[in-house]
Amino acid sequence: MPKSYAIGIDLGTTYSCVAVYNQYSIIDIVPSDLGNTTPSYVAFTANGRLVGESAKAQATLNPNNTVFDAKRLIGRRFEELEEELKHFPFTVVNKGGVPKIEVEEDGQIKTFSPEEISAIILGKMKDIAETYLECEVKNAVITVPAFFSDSARQATKNAGIIAGLNVLRIINEPTAAAIAYGLDKKSVGEKNVLIFDLGGGTFDVSVLSIDDGIFEVKATCGDTRLGGEDFDNLLVKRFIEMFKQKYNKDLKRDKGALTLLRKSCEKAKRILSSELVATVAVEVDGADLEGTISRTEFESLCEPLFEKTLVPVEQALADAGLDSSEIADIVIVGGSTRIPRIRTILSDYFGGKQLNCSINPDEAIAYGAAVQASVLNGDQVVAHQDMLLLDVCPISLGIATAGGQMTTLIKRNTTIPTSEMKVFSTTVDGQTTVLVQVYEGESTLVRENSLLGRFQLSGFPAAPARVPQIEVTFEVDANGILKVSAVERNSGKGSAITIQSPDSYRLTPADVERMSSEAEVKRQQDKRFGEKRKAETQLRCCLDQFRQTIDSCQLPSKDRIAIANILDDTTQWLESSSAEVEVEELVQRQRDVELHCQPIIAKHFEVSEKASAPDLNDTEDVHQSGLTIEELSDEEEEM
């Protein structure tokens, strides 16, 4: 049995999945409320927060306060999000260049960072695992798209910390899928594999080589804005137009109707993966709007997007220096790879090669993450112990130099962890300060790349231009997270500086700590709320059972009145005080009721004819009689 469990979490744009290496030495996909995946949805309601299936189910009724797609926002600047914002029924505001999600909670308008929303989802995945394993789980590996920027990786790690997890590592989703895939296959010699991962909101292509349990990511490429939701959007657009023409109803501005329509379109899309025609239906203001779409229509509607998936495939192959014929296996991952046309386009590109779909596309990433988690956790993962994972930096990293040029320190597709140092100097005589501006991107001009952060190095001795020697070091850790330091060699000034610019859009460690404690308080509140709801339900059930018992048994009227009084008193107490009441009081009340009522009923059964007593072999009868027993907790047992 492992000393403590470590879980693998696939934090998906639309769905998340958690897996664990269990005590029977197998990787288990942990079942959630309804199936093996959990919608990445968070809702703020009058009855508290909802996460997953329950949040998604009420999205139509509560569109402004139901948040999804946080993964599209995480680690990004507000100005980059114009396209995404068009599709959200909830409000995203610009707070100092950073997107924040605005919702109503407890009668107040509150804003949440994408990290906090992701943390709530991660917390749910942690809960799902804990319920299943019946113990606390802290250690986790979380996956991110291979094309995620440094800040998005850091933000995801922060989300894990806020959720109360110890993030062992952030790994790329295709790499995780490759782990699952490579372990399933026993191959001899090195082979190149292409992982094609088309999920709900993101698309990743990776070229890996797998050799005797060693995985090396040779190249990664992708599109953080392409996925199943884009196909849904096209369908939504089509049906808005159709319903406008057919029924003269404009759904564009009706948020509730749009959420319903989106749900129906997504369902139709799934159906079209196995059927030739699907129906989209919504009820708006009591009117049923309905239309159909054929698979062929769906395919021609989405064809440009489907074709677009080949661009990163070509790029990844080129980056890996491989020809398509050198790919031994093509692995498809992500729910959207169930679309037949996508499979055909991909297979055709590789000359009709059969695709490898042996891995369940929804679970492969969590599976691989759990393998990696258990290896990092020191579990005796017999089959995977020698596994070595080499990952790459997906985007080039560098600094701005004179004339707005990008000087790259770490090239795209460099194996990580890695560090690189280059020496720079001043451009003006007497200069005692330099501004180190860190960018990621492939252009030679920084204005076409993304600014990650900047800091000043100052206070070194004045000297003529190009005399001071300033060492700039980039370190990318195993999670793909970047640290930059600069030091002026002569004076030794400024060692170990990391990026902390005023316009940085990342959370500071203090922010993460604050959010982590706030989230913990909220988790405890929610837990307490859940326990209270359970205790209240149990007390109500207990009262109902005794009520049914006195109705069905021929009790002497004195006894019947005595029990009825107790039940009425308790019901009255519950109705008048249920808002403020504590769990312990509810449990105590239930004990009191049982303590008073059970002996009276038991006495009656002793004296009555055996025939009139409940059949103790009949669980229903026993249940009805109010004679049910419950397991004691350990503390109760010791009393």
- Active site residues per annotation: 10, 71, 173, 197
Binder to ligand AMP among 5, 8, 9, 15 (CB under 6 A)?
15
Q: How far apart are CA 179 and CA 176, in angstroms?
A: 5
Among 6, 14, 155, 169, binds ligand AMP (CB under 6 A): 14
Beta carbon of residue 9, minimum distance to ligand AMP (angstroms, whole number): 13
Q: What are residue 87's DSSP bridge partners? A: none
- Closer residue to ligand AMP (CB): 13 or 504: 13
The residue to which tokens 């195993």 are assigned = 478
174 binds ligand AMP (CB under 6 A): no
Contacts (CB under 6 A) with ligand AMP, residues 22-51? 37
Is 150 or 229 the residue whose CB approaches ligand AMP more closely? 229
The burial of 288, by beta-carbon neighbours within 10 Å (0-12 exposed, 13-18 middle, 19 or more buried), is given as: exposed
Q: Which is nearer to ligand AMP, 216 or 230 (CB)?
A: 230
Kindly state the smallest distance separating residue 390's Cβ from ligand AMP, in Å. Answer: 24
Q: Which is nearer to ligand AMP, 333 or 484 (CB)?
A: 333
CB of 148 to ligand AMP, least distance (A): 14
DSSP codes of every residue in 392-434: E-SS-EEEEEGGGEEEEEE-TT-EESEEEEEEE--SSTT--EE
Number of residues that bind ligand AMP (CB under 6 A): 19
**Candidates 10-18, 57-65, 402-410, 516-524 — which segment interacts with ligand AMP by CB under 6 A?**
10-18
The binder of ligand AMP chosen from 28, 115, 229, 440 (CB under 6 A): 229
Q: Which residues neighbour 48 within 8 Å (Cβ) at sequence distance 6 or greater?
A: 526, 529
Instruction: Establish if 222 lies at the interface with ligand AMP (CB under 6 A).
Output: no
Nearer to ligand AMP, 263 or 523 (CB): 263
Binding mask 248-287 for ligand AMP (x = CB under 6 A): ------------------x--xx--x--------------
Alpha helix (H) residue ranges in 329-412: 340-349, 364-376
Nearer to ligand AMP, 177 or 395 (CB): 177
* Inter-residue contact 134 to 106 (CB < 8 Å): no
From 362, 363, 379, 594, residue interacting with ligand AMP (rule: CB under 6 A): 362
Phi-psi region of 57 (alpha: psi -120 to 50; beta: other; left: phi over 0): alpha
Pairing of strands 214-223, 388-392: parallel
User: Within a 10 A sphere around the Cβ of 535, how many other Cβ atoms?
Assistant: 20
CA 262/CA 269 separation, integer angstroms: 10
In the bound state with ligand AMP, the residue whose beta carbon lies nearer, of 362 and 391, is 362
Q: Nearest distance from residue 635's CB to ligand AMP, in Å? A: 42
**What is the smallest separation between the CB atom of 149 and ligand AMP, expressed in angstroms?**
19
CB of 549 to ligand AMP, least distance (A): 49
Residue 357 CA to residue 197 CA, distance in Å, equals 11
Cα–Cα distances (Å) from 306 to 34, 71, 300, 346, in that order, read 30, 22, 10, 9
DSSP notation for 40-91:
--EEEETTEEEETHHHHHTTTT-GGGEE--HHHHTT--GGGGHHHHTT-SSE
Select from 6-14, 57-65, 109-117, 577-585 the region that touches ligand AMP (CB under 6 A).
6-14
Question: 298 with 235: CB under 8 angstroms?
Answer: yes
Which residue's CB is nearer to ligand AMP, number 226 or number 566? 226
CB of 177 to ligand AMP, least distance (A): 10
Q: With the C-alpha atoms ordered 200, 206, 209, 213, is the resulting torsion angle positive or negative?
A: negative
Nearer to ligand AMP, 83 or 606 (CB): 83
CB nearer to ligand AMP: give 266 or 594: 266
In the beta sheet, which residues pair with residue 293?
Answer: 278
- Please answer whether residues 312 and 277 qualify as being in contact, where contact means their C-beta atoms are separated by less than 8 angstroms: no
Under the binding rule (CB under 6 A), the answer on residue 12 touching ligand AMP is yes
CB 410, min distance to ligand AMP, A: 29
Please tell me what DSSP assigns to residue 31: P
Residue closer to ligand AMP (CB basis): 298 or 455: 298
Residue 167 token pair: 């993030």
Q: How far is the CB of 63 from ligand AMP (least distance, A)?
A: 19
Instruction: Enumerate residues 6+ apart whose C-beta is below 8 A from 57.
Output: none
Residue 503 carries which side chain, given as an amino acid letter? D
Is the Cβ–Cβ distance between 476 and 440 less than 8 Å?
A: no
Q: In 58-96, which positions are buried (b, 16+ CB within 10 angstroms) versus exposed (e)?
A: bbbebbebbbbbbbbbbbbbbeebeebeebbbbbbeeee
The span from the CA of 584 to the CA of 263, in Å, is: 42
The least distance separating ligand AMP from the CB of residue 125, rounded to whole angstroms, comes to 13
* Window 180-219: contact mask with ligand AMP (x via CB under 6 A): -------------------xx-------------------
Q: What are phi and psi of 342, to 5 degrees?
A: -65, -40
Distances (CA, A) of 404 to 58, 438, 447: 50, 12, 7
Q: CA torsion angle for 593, 596, 599, 603 (degrees, to 10)? A: -110
Min dist. Cβ of residue 230 to ligand AMP (A): 9
What region does 164 belong to: left with phi over 0, alpha with psi -120 to 50, or beta? left
C-beta of residue 60 within 8 angstroms of C-beta of residue 262? no
Q: How far is the CB of 228 from ligand AMP (least distance, A)?
A: 2
Q: Which is nearer to ligand AMP, 339 or 436 (CB)?
A: 339
Give, as ranges, the residues between 292 and 351 that touch ligand AMP (CB under 6 A).
334-336, 338-339
By CB under 6 A, name the binding residues for ligand AMP.
12-15, 37, 199-200, 228-229, 266, 269-270, 273, 334-336, 338-339, 362
